[in-house]
Structure 1
Amino acid sequence: MLNLQHLNSFLTLQQTGSFTDAAARLGLGQSTVTQHIQRLEKSLGRRLVARDTHQVRLTTDGEALLGYAQSMLDLDGKVAALFGESRLRGRLKLGVSEDVVANRLTEILEDFIRLHPLVDLELTVALSAVLYQMQDVGDLDLVLAKRHVGETQGRLLYREPLVWLARDPAFILSRSEALPLIAFPHPSITRRVAQEALDGAKVPWRIVCTCGSLSGLTAAARAGMGVMVQPRSMVPEGLREIPADRLPVLEDVEFVLVSRRSADAAMVDALSSLIAARMVPQSG
């Protein structure tokens, strides 16, 4: 019989692509994760992982195992939730800011659904300020979003700088007209920070693209329409950071979890703990 812990290490390795990252996510030593994979390979009599100096990838047999491994862990989670003493059930409404969803939330949601299959999780994606407004009227139980430095609402996860981005910084900055700005619509935290920084430095600017989705803003920036602002760990592929001495310095932003006071504490705590354990800045 296959060991579920070994299967969990196998799936986590596939998601992270690294024994070091898999071990950190699981809270295990790297040697332990390696042993789990070796024992899984021995029990199946097949090589599941190909290793070289640059990356970890699955073999054909490893790819074939993926779906079965996920199904077995899902079933285990459902049984544990059904018969466990502290099983969670009910509806939990989560709000997440657009840029966080685009970067690092998938694995967190997958794990929560597997661990708590009786919880009906609803996800809303919007601008941070909009999510806070929805929470104020009771439409969201937990919000994962940004706040300005100095604000106090929520549980601080981490803080990081905002940076200016463009496809070709030298070309954009060589143009004599007002700086072309690509931004989320009001009330966007990153838009406000960018505009206040430019106004404070008396740099003329104009909005050339407004879009509520990060994918839309990124497409405009990749097309060379102008500059956009993002947290440094969330720089989209194809864009380059503009040197710090060419445009005004942007203030940092903080990523926080904010729970609604009347929300189910057990469900909120379970998801909050999972997010807090996984939400660490990633180099962009």
Structure 2
Amino acid sequence: MLNLTHLASFIQLYETGSFTLAADQLGVGQSTVTQHIQRLEKHLGRQLIDRTTHRVKLTTEGEALLSYARGILEMNGKVLSLFGQSRLRGRLRLGVSEDVVASRLTAVLEDFIRLHPLVDLELTVALSAPLYQMQDMGELDLVLAKRHIGDTRGRLLYREPLVWLARDPDLLRLRGDQPVPLIAFPPPSITRKVAQEALDREKILWRIVCTCASLSGLTAAARAGMGVLVQPRSMAPEGLREVSGEQLPLLEDVEFVLVPRKGADAALIEALSLLIEARITPQAAT
């Protein structure tokens, strides 16, 4: 019998084209994805991945398996939705902070819509503070966002440090008489506030050189060398490097939390929360 987990890793590997990216999307280690592919190949007695190239490429046998693997997983989801606990139905309004969406939300959404096809899932992406405001107004059922250290709102998922990021930290040439060029989300933004307060405590001058509500926009500015960007360490965009503590002050940690709305459908909230907790953990963030 084919292992569904192995098939899921095989499909994710094909879709991402990388063992590393597939592992990130699945929330497991790269070695685990490698083992899944090896065991699948051993079970079928066929080589599925062409290992003679630098890029991930399917063999003829791998291409033949692909459509069947997708069909098997789709059928499994339908069976679960018909007979399992996934007979949930209704509407669930999810709010997610911008940086989480950019890094590891895809796998959560894929799992949820496959396991609970009768649930109408609505997704809102924004900064943490506006998401909390929308929830207070009854517009969101569940929020996945950041909170300041000491804030008691929500259920803690994990905590990690914020870091300064730049295209080339060695070329920043930060001097006491020149303000630090900041690339930041618009207020209210937790990362923006933490960065500004850290600089103010050390009496370091700063100026905002780029403001954008989209992480992709901020990343583009940072990659262009406009200035420094603050992000959770595990969510540092590609092409940016961490600035050492000798150049800029250390930043406080940030916490990621799940916040359900009072009165929301408890079964729907729990179903999605379990998937989020399984995918978005300290282990997944490393």
Residue 62 of structure 2: SS of its match in structure 1? helix
- Alignment match, 2:127: 127
Corresponding position of 2:42: 38
2:174/2:180 contact within 8 Å kept? no
The answer on whether the counterparts of 1:167 and 1:238 sit within 8 Å (CA) in structure 2 is: yes
Q: RMSD across aligned C-alpha pairs, in angstroms?
A: 3.0
- In structure 1, the residue matched to 2:221 is 220
Whether the aligned pair in 1 keeps the contact of 2:50 and 2:59 (CA below 8 Å) is: yes
Q: Flag structure 1 segments of 5+ consecutive residues without an equivalent.
A: none
Shift in Å, 1:254: 0.5
Name the counterpart of 1:114: 114
Which of 1, 17, 42 is residue 19 of structure 2 equivalent to? 17
Does structure 1 conserve the Cα–Cα contact (< 8 Å) formed by 2:92 and 2:120? Answer: yes
- Report how far residue 236 of structure 1 moved: 0.9
Partner amino acid for 2:257? Answer: V
**What's the counterpart of residue 186 of structure 1?**
187
In the superposition, relative to structure 1, how do residues 23 and 224 fare at CA in structure 2: closer, same or farther (>3 Å)? closer
1:151 and 2:151 matched = yes
Q: Sequence identity, in percent?
A: 66
**1:75 Cα shift?**
2.8
Secondary structure in structure 1 of the residue aligned to 2:173:
helix
| Contact kept in structure 2, 1:94 and 1:140, CA below 8 Å | yes
The number of aligned residues is 277
Q: Please give the residue correspondences for 1:47-58 in structure 2 after superposition, counting only pairs within 5 Å.
A: 47-50=47-50, 58=58
CA contact (8 A) 1:154 1:259 kept: yes
| 1:206 aligned partner | 207
The question of whether the paired residues in 1 share the 8 Å contact of 2:107 and 2:279 is answered with no
- Mapped to 1, the partners of 2:62 and 2:34 lie a distance apart of 19
Deviation at 1:87, TM superposition (A): 1.2
Compute the displacement of 1:55 (Å). Answer: 8.9
Listed one character per residue, the Cα deviations across residues 235-259 of structure 1 (whole Å, up to 9, x for unaligned) are 1111111111211111000011111
**Aligned-pair distance for 1:56?**
7.0
> Contact 1:162–1:229 (CA<8 Å) still a contact in 2?
yes
Q: Show the counterpart of 1:275.
A: 276
Letter in 1 for 2:240: L
Amino acid of the structure 2 residue aligned with 1:49: I
The one-letter code matched in structure 2 to 1:249 is L
Quick check: 1:6–1:37 contact (8 Å CA) kept in 2?
no
Report how far residue 141 of structure 1 moved: 1.0
Report the 3-state secondary structure (helix = DSSP H, G, I; strand = E; otherwise coil) of the residue aligned with 1:236.
coil
Alignment correspondent of 2:244: 243
Q: How far apart, CA to CA, are the structure 1 residues paired with 2:218 and 2:27?
A: 35
Q: Alpha-carbon deviation of 1:72?
A: 2.8
- Length-normalised TM-score, structure 2: 0.85
Q: Shift of residue 62 of structure 1?
A: 2.1
Q: 1:5 to 1:101 in 2, by over 3 A?
A: closer
Q: Which residue of 2 aligns with 1:87?
A: 87
Give the AA of the match of 1:140: L
Distance 1:278 1:37, change over 3 A: farther
Q: Runs of 5+ in structure 2 lacking a partner?
A: none
Deviation at 1:280, TM superposition (A): 2.8
